[in-house]
Amino acid sequence: MLACGISAYAQQTPPVNNARRPTRMQVGDVTTDPVVRDPCLVKEGDTYYAYHTGGGIQVWSSKDMKSWTKQPSVFSGAPEWVAQKLPAFKGLGFWAPDLSFHKGTWYLYYATSLFGTNTSVIGVATNKTLDPKSKDYKWVDGGMVVQSVLGRDAWNAIDPNLAVDENGTGWLSFGSHWNGLKLVKLNPDLKTVAEPQEWYTIASRPRDYKYNDKDPGDGALEAPFIYKKDNYYYLFLSWDSCCSGVRSTYNIRVGRAEKITGPYLDRDGKDLAKGGGTLLLGGDTTEPKTVYALGHNSVAGFDGADWMAYHTYTTDRDQHLGIRKLSWENGWPVVKK
C-alpha cells in the first residue's frame, strides 16, 4: 500500500498557472498561495496533489510543490448518509482528508462534525486516479467508517489517517481533545471496522477537569499520522490550539513504537498515551515572529526523500501550506531548514 504521497503511476500533468512563488519563512518554506488547512500531500506520476479541509475537500496540483493550480473539489454535494447520521449537518464542511493507494485504488478518508462537540463521523471515498482529466476519474462514496456519539463515546471521530502494519493489515487512527487519539483495526475492504472491535489509545494528555461530552476542554491534541520507517512506526500529532489565527499555539510532536498499536514513546521514553511527545516543529519563539503556529501534518515518501506537509499561521488569519523535507538522525525525524 502507498500512503499519503508515494508515486502510484504516471498521469497527464495539469497546466500550472496563476501561481505565486513561496515566501521564505524562518521555520521553512511556506507558500502564500494556496491557503489550506489540514493538508495531505500525495504524488501520482509527475504531479503533486494537496488535499485539504473545506469546500467539499479542496484540491490543488503542482509540478514542483511551489506553484499550485486549483482542481475540482472531491464533493459537490454531501453523501446522503452524512445527513442521516448528523441531522444538523449542512453544506460541504468536510475535514482533514487522508489519502492512501492500494491495489489500483485511492482511498480518501475524511471527517465531519458538529463543531465543538464529539458528535462526528469519518467516511471514505475511492477513485482510480487523482487526475481530473482522466476518463477514469470519479470519486465513489464508500459510506461511514467510524462514528462517535455524544454521551456514549469519550473520543472524537475526526482527523482520520490510514496506516498499514507489517502484515498488510489496515489500521485507522483518529481523534482530538477529549480523552485522546485512538486506533482501530479495519477489515480488508478498508471501509469497515474489524470484529471483535478493539480500540487503542495511542496518545493522550492530562486534563484539569472531568470529561464533558460537549466541551473538549484542555489537554488539546489532534491529527494523528502514523508513518512506517525502517523498524519503527512514528506517530506524528498536533498539540495545543488551532484555528485562532496568530493567537494559535499549534505545534507538531512525535513518538515511535515497534508495534503499530504502541506504546508510542518520545525521545525521553515517555508514553504518548500518558502525556509524552517530543517537539518536532513549532512557530517562531523569538521576535520578530513570522510564523505563529503550525500543525496538522501529513508525511509522504517520494522523489527519494520523506516530506512533511502542514498548515501554518503567519501574520494574517489565513492558514498557508508548508512543506519541509525530513531527515533521520539516530532513528528520529529531523526537520531540515
Which CATH number belongs to the domain containing residue 56 in this structure?
2.115.10.20
In whole angstroms, what is the distance from residue 336 CA to residue 132 CA?
A: 33
Count how many Cα atoms sit within 13 Å of the Cα of residue 244 in the half-sphere of its side chain: 8
Counting the structural domains of the chain, the total is 1
Max avg pLDDT among 84-93, 157-166, 308-317, 318-327: 157-166
Please check if 323 is assigned to a binding site: no
pLDDT at 33: 63
Residues 89, 192, 117, 163, Cα dihedral to 10°: -120
Dihedrals phi, psi of 34, to nearest 5 degrees: -90, 165
Domain span including residue 148: 2-335
Q: Which residues are catalytic?
A: 38, 222
Q: What is the pTM of this model?
A: 0.90
Q: Is 178 annotated for ligand binding? A: yes
Beta strands at 332-335 and 319-329: parallel, antiparallel or unpaired = antiparallel
Q: What is the pLDDT of residue 285?
A: 84
Question: What's the mean pLDDT in 270-293?
Answer: 91
Q: Phi/psi zone of residue 292: left (φ > 0), alpha (ψ -120 to 50 degrees), beta? A: alpha
Tell me: pLDDT of 59 over 70: yes
Q: Is there a binding annotation on residue 18?
A: no
Please tell me whether 176 is known to bind a ligand. Answer: yes
220-234: b or e for each residue (b if 16 or more CB lie within 10 Å)? bbbbbbbbebeebbb
Backbone angles phi, psi at 245, to 5 degrees: 60, -135
| Contacts of residue 311, Cβ cutoff 8 Å, sequence gap at least 6 | 36, 37, 38, 39, 52, 294, 295, 296, 319, 320, 321, 322
Q: Which residue has the higher pLDDT, 12 or 124?
A: 124
8-state DSSP, 264: -
